[in-house]
């Protein structure tokens, strides 16, 4: 049986947890509607998050995705839409 596609809430939760760890913040201190750049995410962190996302969630993320979708919520919504569109039937 195929694994169900992740929804945007699960992806958002994962992103918050990853960024909290990388930025040495508490997850509750991260607002998912604030731009990655304003959270302190630089290009190195963005590439690392993309790689970790591929490893943990089996979602392929372009290196520029954190700039193309500038907030956690924007990125999570985009990735959930892609996951549903590419879900095997």
DSSP 1-63: -PPPPPPHHHHHHHHHHHHHHHHT--GGG--TTSBHHHHT--HHHHHHHHHHHHHHH-----T
Task: List, for residues 4-54, the tens digit of each pLDDT value.
Answer: 568 899 999 999 999 999 999 999 999 999 999 999 999 888 888 888 888
The yes-or-no verdict on residue 59 having pLDDT over 90 is no
Considering the domain 8-83 in this protein, what is its CATH number? 1.10.1200.10
What is the reported pLDDT for 4?
Answer: 56
The pLDDT of 54-61, averaged and rounded, is 80
Domain ranges for the chain: 8-83
pLDDT at residue 88 is higher than 60: no
pLDDT at 47: 86
Q: What is the pTM of this model?
A: 0.84
């Amino acid at each position: 049986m195929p694994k169900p596609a992740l929804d945007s809430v699960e992806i958002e939760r994962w992103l918050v947890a990853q960024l909290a760890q990388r930025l040495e913040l508490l997850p509750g201190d991260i607002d998912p509607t604030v731009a990655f750049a304003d959270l302190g995410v630089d290009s190195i962190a963005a590439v690392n998050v993309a790689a970790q996302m591929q490893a943990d969630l089996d979602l392929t993320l372009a290196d520029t995705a954190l700039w193309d979708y500038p907030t956690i919520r924007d990125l999570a919504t985009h990735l959930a839409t892609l996951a549903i569109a590419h879900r095997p039937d």
